[in-house]
Structure 1
Amino acid sequence: MNCIIIEDQPPAQRILKKFIADVGTLTLKEVFSDAISAMEFLKKEKVDLMFLDIHLPKISGIEFLKTLPHPPHVILTTAFPDYALEGYDLNVVDYLLKPFSFQRFLQAISKVPRISQMDEGGKITMENKLKKEIYIKSGHEHIKIRISDIIHIQSDADYTEICTLKRKLLSNEPLRHWMDELEGLPFFRVHRSYIINSEKIERISGNLIYLINQNKVPIGRAYKEDFLKTLL
């Protein structure tokens, strides 16, 4: 994905540039110290992702974002937590509170939908939004199932179990594979051993998710905050 940085502090610019370079799937097109300069660039260049500081000279990041009729995906960066709610009202991908670690940076990047192609009308389409079915390698067979039929996926020792309303299938692929396969769809990793389809949730109570097949899935401590924040 092509990205830009809008950040007026050189130390923060250096950290973002290093993290972007370390990821490998991002291409940094330009770095700006104020939003006005970036505005001119966005009129001419296609950008998929924007790292936007809130406290900027001339015009704040929030005010700048409100002026864009069709903004790219946005990850806000700031040293102040007060603007988080307003940022999410503007449909930003994530909100990085400075100073942030590389791990936290990766978490933010993982939430950005992957853009793969343009449809006939020139609109951007998301790769996995087009997928209706997947094939699961189980033993010597490749079994086709509808993605919408998946309720949850559980890791168990050397295999994963894909659970639908009608059956359970065993796969040799790890959970990480299924997170990549289902990226951009309503699936969440809520525990080191579980991925759930959020459309199959019946209710959430404490640290348990009750699914429509009467299964209960635990929410891991490391996943709870991001899961609830994104879902609710």
Structure 2
Amino acid sequence: MSLTCILVDDEPNAVSLLEVLIGQTTSWQVLAKCYDGIQAIAFLKKNKVDLIFLDINMPQLTGMELAALLPKSTKIVFTTAYAEYAAESYGFATIDYLLKPITLKRFLSATEKIESAFSQEVANETTGKKDSDNYFFVKSGKTWKNILLDSILYFEGEKEYVRVVSAADELLIYRRLKEIEEQLQAPFIRVHHSYIVNIKMLDKVQDNHIYIGNKQIPISDKFRSGFMEMIKQRAF
């Protein structure tokens, strides 16, 4: 797949690594290398790109501040050494969240997710379908079931298995929660070692817990600040 992208990071070595990984593993075109948010804004005012690889901790303008200035539809892959911003990042059109140091294996996983997201977008435009038509198949026992992503309330990790819970059904599949997380994007958010939730399905947040119907889900310290920041962004 042919995509255009820019790299935004104040660390030259990080920019160089991304450029090498992209050149060696994809047919994407890097249109610009920006070493701060101001350079990125100047470039994007005159040029259109499919994707932005964006660092978070930068001087003058952080990655989160820059993302907030971009059109909401702008596709972003955040690249950072700080895991605590992961939940907050999905308040944008985030496709993936890469933790530094970025390994080849993790980058290849990201490229699959990126190209899948763009392929789905093209398919939706061609068929007139909306994102709510997104679906996937899960195998439970000997049965493959088709599930709409929007119908899922949460994923619950149980060692080697993941429980997929929707309003109408529960399925237990042989996968790790981390593998599921790598295939998901907004509105799904990791809030605990054992839980990924669909933020659209939340009823309330109270006393370090999320409530979805009768289900009470804990918010761990690792994910709390980023998650609450996202909640505040949507608060009146």
* Stretches of structure 2 lacking an aligned partner (at least 5 in a row): 84-97
**Counterpart in 1 of 2:89?**
none
Q: Please give the per-residue CA displacement for 1:65-99, whole angstroms capped at 9, x wherever unaligned.
A: 3x247444334446426555641332374776799
Identical-pair percentage: 19
* Residues 150 and 165 in structure 1, CA contact (< 8 A), matched pair in contact too: yes
Q: Distance in 1 between matches of 2:179 and 2:81?
A: 31
CA contact (8 A) 1:87 1:95 kept: no
SS in 2 for 1:160: strand
- Pair 1:179–1:30, CA change in 2 (3 A): closer
Deviation at 1:140, TM superposition (A): 1.6
Distance 1:177 1:95, change over 3 A: closer
Aligned to 2:16: 17
Tell me the alpha carbon deviations over residues 198-220 of structure 1, each in whole angstroms, 9 at most, x when there is no partner: 11011222421111x22111122
Within 5 Å, give how 1:158-177 maps onto structure 2: 158-177=160-179
Amino acid at match of 2:69: L
TM-score, length-normalised on structure 2? 0.62
Match of 2:221 in 1: 221
For the pair 1:190 / 2:172, whether they are aligned, the reply is no
| Mapped partners of 1:215, 1:98: distance in 2 | 33
Matched residue, 1:45: none
Where does residue 87 of structure 2 map in the other structure? none
RMSD across aligned positions (CA): 4.2
Is the CA contact 1:135–1:142 (under 8 Å) kept in the aligned structure 2?
yes
Distance 1:192 1:83, change over 3 A: closer
Asked if 1:90 corresponds to 2:69, the answer is yes
Asked if the contact 2:155/2:162 (under 8 Å) is kept, the reply is yes
- Alignment CA distance shift 1:30-1:144 (3 Å): closer
Give the distance between the partners of 1:223 and 1:26, measured in 2 at CA. 32
2:99 maps to a residue whose letter is Q
Larger Rg computed on CA atoms: 1
Q: Which amino acid aligns with 1:13?
A: P
**Count of matched residue positions in the alignment of Structure 1 and Structure 2:** 200
1:115 aligns with 2:93: no
Q: Does the aligned pair in 1 maintain the 2:37–2:62 contact within 8 Å? A: no
* C-alpha distance 201-17 of structure 1, shift in aligned 2 (>3 A): same
Residue 186 of structure 1 and its aligned partner are, at CA, apart by 1.4
Alignment of 1:131-142 (within 5 A): 131-142=133-144
Q: Which amino acid aligns with 1:103?
A: L
Q: Does residue 103 of the first structure (1) align with residue 106 of the second (2)?
A: no
- Letter in structure 2 aligned against 1:87: L
Counterpart amino acid of residue 177 in structure 2: L
Between 138-147 and 20-29, the greater mean CA deviation after superposition:
20-29
- Give me the whole-angstrom Cα distance separating, in 2, the residues matched to 1:3 and 1:27: 11
> 1:53 — aligned with what?
35
Q: Residue 200 of structure 1 corresponds to which residue in structure 2?
A: 201
Structure ranking higher in helix proportion:
2
- Secondary structure at the counterpart of residue 185 of structure 2: coil
Q: Report which stretch shifted further, 77-86 or 194-203.
A: 77-86
1:132–1:95 distance in 2 versus 1, CA, 3 Å: closer
Amino acid at match of 2:154: H
Q: Aligned partners of 1:97 and 1:137: how far apart in 2? A: 34
**Gapped runs of 5+ residues in structure 1?**
32-37, 39-50
Using the size of structure 1 for normalisation, the TM-score is 0.63
Q: 1: distance between equivalents of 2:211 and 2:230?
A: 18
| Whole-angstrom CA distance in 2 between matches of 1:112 and 1:228 | 26
Tell me: CA distance 1:94–1:145, structure 2 relative to 1, closer, same or farther (3 Å).
closer
User: 2:26, 2:224 → 1: CA distance?
Assistant: 27
